[in-house]
Structures are given as C-alpha cells and as structure tokens.
Structure 1
Amino acid sequence: MSERTENPAPQKSQARTGWVSTVAVVLLLGLALAALAVVGGRSLPERIGPPVEEIAVEQVRMSPGRIDLTVRNAGPDPVRVAQVFVNDAFVDVRGGEQPIAPRRSTVLTLDYPWQEGQPYLVSMLTSTGLVIEHEIAAAVETPTGGRDLFAVMALLGAYVGIIPVVLGMLLLPVLRRIGKGAMCFLLAVTVGLLLFLAVDAVFEGLELGERSGGAFGGISLLALGAILAFLALTLVDRWLHHRAHAAGERGGTRLALMIAIGIGLHNLGEGLAIGSAYALGQLALGAALVIGFALHNTTEGLAIVSPLLASARPGVLRLLGLGLIAGAPAIAGAVLGAGVDNAELSLFLLGLGVGAIGQVVVQIAPALRGGEEREPGPVAAMDTTAVLGVAVGVAVMYATGLLVVA
C-alpha cells in the first residue's frame, strides 16, 4: 500500500498570500504615519519661547597657534556661534559664520597662541547671547596621523591586548592536571572576571555619557550597543552550536570562541579609550603601563582556556586564533581612538563589549549550577565552590586593575 503524499502547492500559495498581506499592511501603516506627520505637523501651533541652544564639543585638535573644535548642535533649533573667548580673551574664529542645523556639526578654528600643559576655558557666545563653555584641562599638541602614529598604537595594542591574552592561555597545560571540582572553580572565576569587565565598562560609559552632547542618545547608545551585541552573539552561538553538532565537536571549543569574541569586543572599547587618552596627552607611556595591563589582561587568557579543560587538546593554531580574536581588537581600537575622540562612538563600542560579555556569562552560568535539590534562585542554585570562584574572579580583576597606571 503506497503512502499518500501531500501536495505542497497549497502550502506555498498560503505562504505567498501571507507575505503579500504582511507587506500590504506594513505599506499601509507607513502611508498612514507619513500622512499623520504631514497633517499633524501643519496643524500644531508654533512653539512659544526662546530657541533651545545646545552645543557639544566632540573633538579638540591642537596645533601650534591653533585650536580646532568639532562642535555638534545637540538641540532642536539652529545655533550660530557669534564669538569665542579663550580664558576671557577674544579670539579670531573661522567656521561659525552659518547657523548649525540640529544634529549637524562644524569645525571652529581658533587662532590662539596656547602653551603646552596649561588649562584653557573656551567660551562660545551664540547669536542669542547664550554662553556655552568647554574646558581643556591641559593643552597638548594632537599627534598627526601617519605610519609613526599607527606603529605606536599597534605596538601599544599588542602590549595590552594580544601578548597578555596569549600569556594567560599558556596556562592550559597546567590547568589540565586539576580535577573536576577545580575546573568548576575556574569556570566560576571566569564568570567573575567577565562580570567585573562588564560592570567596569558600564561605569566608564556612565562617565562618558556626562561628556556626551546627547545628540545621538548619549547614554542610550550604551544600552543600544549592549542589546545589539547580545542578540548578535546569540545568533552566532546558535550557528556555532549547529555547526559543532554536525561536526561532532565538544561544547568547550564553542564556548571558548564565544568568550574570545566577547573579550575581543571589550578590548576594542578598551583600546579606543587608550588611543583617545594618548591623543589628549593623558596617557603615561612606560613600563608601569605595560606591566599593569599585562597582569590585568593575562586573566582574560585564563578565561578563554577554562572551557577547553574538558575538551580534546586544541591545536596551536586554534589557540593562537582565539588569542588574536580576543586581543587584536585592542590594536584597532587604539588606532581609531588616537584619530577620533568621539564620546558617542566610545559609548556604543563599550555597549558592544557589555552585551557580548553578558551573553557569554549566560552561556557559562548553567555549568555553575548545583544539583536539582538546590533551592530555586540564581545564587542558591550555585555550588559554594562556584560562588567562591566568582568572588575570586572579581577580586583578581580589581587587584590587577590597580596596577594599570594611566
């Protein structure tokens, strides 16, 4: 007796009809919103009161006898900069002749014989008489781009990113000799390390949000980057899971790759901060910086290899690849930060690191849970060893962070 086969034609027709209906509804909704914006905007009365003027200084570039300010209109109304004063002294300014439209930026060039290391207060007087101030804590010549700057930033990124991470990964042969309980402890230490990185990035983002003009959301960019990174890494994890299942690989390799990606996104934001500090003359280069970051970021290499303890011995090329994924973004961030001092970009990249780390912690957390007899709740479900490991991880990151002298 032959089996009855269903005709796929009606199913395809229903699916096609569903897509057409969805597109039609979306188009209709878009037309309705467009009509509402046109009709509603014309029917509302004009705003009563003085214009709202907000200017945010996004970048300061200093060269001998000259200060270039990149300013953005963060308010809803056009703003024209009429005069500029530096330390209460009137200076010639170029670039502010035309009003700056909302969310647009322009460069104000000030002719001023500044002295290195001295503080300056820039006061911008708008056409309505509003004074907007920006403080330069210590004047320092902005390094120009080129191969020399790229070489310095690449070397600095390698010192604080690639080399420490790879050094931490060299502990893998030693860690393989420990027992199952110690492996759980190390995974918990990894969670503590990652949690500290995430919290540290959030606090740094809150500080950057105060300097941001808010034209593109300010601190909201931190949340946007975190959400997008979390969702993106969730998709990457699903893809890696199916690929590893098809190839018969253990889950440790996949988790190690996810940790490397998460740390890499964090190091991208860290490198950006280092490059910006170097461009502003706020970074003290020297042995203290290299040693501090080496000790601090070596723990990141330990976090990467922890999931590999129960897996087959990975090859040297795979370990090197994981190290590059985690550490190389520090080079890109340092180069980008030295040329672009933008609070909004820094906030978004910090958010990417926070979201990526959050997704990785979610992946590791199930391995830290105890038996089913445990009480419900995220903390109660963890073994005492795991709780202690998380605390140790946080303490280690805090202690090594004190050695980073900026």
Structure 2
Amino acid sequence: MLGAIAGFTIFLGLPAGRLRSLPIEASALLAATATGILLFLLWDVLSAGIEPVEAALTAASVEHTGDWSTFVGYAALFTGCFAVGLLSLVYFDQIVSGRKPRIRSVGAASAVEYEGAELGRLTYAQTLSLLIATGIGLHNFSEGLAIGQSAASGEISLALMLVIGFGLHNATEGFGIVGPFTAEDERPSWAFLALLGLIGGGPTFLGTLIGQTWVSEALSIAFLALAAGSILYVIVELLGVCRTFHRKTYVAWGLFIGLFLGFATDFVLVAAGA
C-alpha cells in the first residue's frame, strides 16, 4: 500500500500535458520547468548511485574493513549500467527516428523543430515522453527498494516519511514526463497519460515488494545507474526543445523553478532521515 501511494502520485502532474492554447512564453516556461526537474533528478540519482561505490572504496583503502573486489565490482556495475542507460537510447534514436531538422514559424520568430520517422504510430513528443517515463521508472524502482527495506527492518515511521517525500517527488516528476507536449500542438489522450503513469510510477510499487523481501545493494546501484543514463539523454533532448522557443529569460526561470521544486521536495526526505 505504501509503495502504491508513493508511486501513483505521479498521476497528479500528468494532466498538465493536455493544456493547450498557451502563449509561447508559457510553453517555454513549462518545458524548461520540466527540464529543471529532470536536472535535479539526475543529480539526485547520481549522488545516490555513487554513494555505495565511494563507501566501498573508503572501506577498502582507508578503514581496511572491506576488500578491493567489492569496490571494483560496484564501480564496474555503475559505469556499465550508466553507459547502457545513455548509449542504448542514443543508438535507439538513431535507428528508429532518423530525425532531420526543419524550420517552423513560432509567433514572430523562426525556430528549429525536429521532423523524423515516428516510432510506429507515436509522434516525437510521445516517444520522448515514453523515454522520460522509463528513466523515471528506473529511478522510482530504487525508491521503492528503499521503502521496502525500511519496512522490512521494522522502521515503519521512516518508511512513512519516505512515502511522503517520494510522493511529493513523483507529483513533480509527472509534470516532467509530459514536458515534451508543451512544445507541440498535440494533446495526449487520457489512455496514453495512464500508460505514462504506470511506466513511471508502477516501479515504485514493484520495488517496494522486492525491497521488503530481498535486500541487494548491487541491484539498487544498477537501477540508479540505468536511470541516470536515460535521464541524461532526455535532458539533452528537452534542452533542444527549449532552444526552439528563443525565450532565454523564460527558459532560465523555468530551469530555476524546476530545480527549486526538486530540492524543496528533497528536503522532506532529509527531514525524514534526521
């Protein structure tokens, strides 16, 4: 139940993808805010994923309570999974999309958009949203592991606080998932939004179930590294979308707001740890 609550708050931000008839300034602000949220998530995921690797290094080199094989294994696992998360999406995009730039008029300005082959019947915005949801889902799986492991160790109060913090996080992540639609004329269907929510939020529930029965630091490192790589890829894509608006001031404010929201919800988790 706790894992489901924490995961499915992601649905709260998804309806923003159906907003239309927005001025270009508002679209730039919303797209940049989504990008700022993902920038925070990248920092958060990298910090959490590298922490056990550094702990293994400290145990082997400073405290002499661990062995070097653990550090080498964790470091190789993190590096390999990060490469898979990032480069697999790059090659996937090259093979399937084959996008070429075209010029479109946006208001009084001329902006570059991306035109290319659709993935089946999916548009560019739908494809990018699915990639964002997948990256966030990998990240949320690790969050579910944390909830499940806290509950399994008898620390129910900590698990409850984690649910509150992760629930707030996921509410902002839902908005980040639908960020690509703010730059397009299409409106995602409710069924497609539901699919995005299941991909992004469902792994929190699955991670909670697994974390309650099986504790694995290596598994957590692997999923965090995969998430970091995929999130980095979609950040690069969204930054390209933000540049098409030619509204640097609004983009800068959006990035600031997104980062602020990310850190604000993270403070809840810091309070829980205290």
Give me the TM-score of the superposition, normalised by structure 2. Answer: 0.77
Q: How does 1:244-393 map to 2 (within 5 A)?
A: 244-245=117-118, 250-284=123-157, 288-309=161-182, 310-369=184-243, 383-393=248-258
Question: Do 2:96 and 2:119's aligned partners in 1 also have CA atoms closer than 8 Å?
Answer: no
**Equivalent position SS for 2:157:** coil
For structure 2, list consecutive stretches of 5 or more residues without a partner in the other structure. 57-65, 99-115
Which aligned pairs between 1:125-274 and structure 2 lie closer than 5 A? 155-161=1-7, 163-173=8-18, 175-212=19-56, 214-215=69-70, 217-238=73-94, 241=97, 244-245=117-118, 250-274=123-147
**TM-aligned CA deviation for residue 356 of structure 1:** 0.9
Q: Deviations over 1:30-79 (max 9, x none)?
A: xxxxxxxxxxxxxxxxxxxxxxxxxxxxxxxxxxxxxxxxxxxxxxxxxx
Bigger helix share: 2
Letter in 1 for 2:17: L
Distance in structure 1 (CA, Å) of the matches to 2:146 and 2:122 = 37
Distance across 2 between alignment mates of 1:283 and 1:350: 24
Query: C-alpha deviations, 1:193-234, integer Å up to 9, x for none?
Result: 111111112211232224445435223422221111112222
Please identify which structure carries the higher strand content.
1
Paired residue type of 2:212: A
Question: Which residue of structure 2 aligns with residue 401 of structure 1?
Answer: 266
1:357 Cα deviation after fit: 0.3
Distance (whole Å) between structure 2 residues aligned to residue 244 and residue 385 of structure 1: 30
Question: Partner amino acid for 1:387?
Answer: A
Q: Which string of whole-angstrom CA distances, capped at 9 and with x for unpartnered residues, describes residues 320-374 of structure 1?
A: 1111011111122222222222222211111011011011112112112268xxx
Q: Structure 1 383/346 Cα, relative in aligned 2: closer, same or farther at 3 Å? A: same
Residues in 2 aligned to 1:271 and 1:179: alpha-carbon distance in whole angstroms: 38
Question: What is the aligned length?
Answer: 241
CA 1:298–1:244 in structure 2 vs 1: closer, same or farther (change >3 Å)? farther
Quickly say closer, same or farther: Cα 1:169–1:218, change in 2 above 3 A. Answer: same
Letter aligned with residue 224 of structure 1: G
SS of residue matched to 1:355: helix
Q: Distance in 2 between matches of 1:318 and 1:252?
A: 12
- How far is the alpha carbon of 1:390 from its aligned partner? 1.2
Distance 1:261 1:189 in 2: 19
Structure label with greater radius of gyration: 1
**Amino acid paired to 1:186:** L
Residue 403 of structure 1 deviates from its aligned partner by 2.4
Give percent identity, aligned residues only.
Answer: 35
Following superposition, the deviation at residue 249 of structure 1 comes to: 5.1
Cα distance in 2 for residues equivalent to 1:203 and 1:283: 25
Task: Give the TM-score normalised by structure 1.
Answer: 0.54
Q: In the alignment, residue 129 of structure 2 is paired with which amino acid?
A: A
Provide closer, same or farther for how the CA distance between residues 382 and 209 of structure 1 changes in structure 2, counting only shifts above 3 A. Answer: farther
CA RMSD of aligned residues (A): 2.6
Q: Which has the higher contact order (CA 8 A, sep 6+)?
A: 2
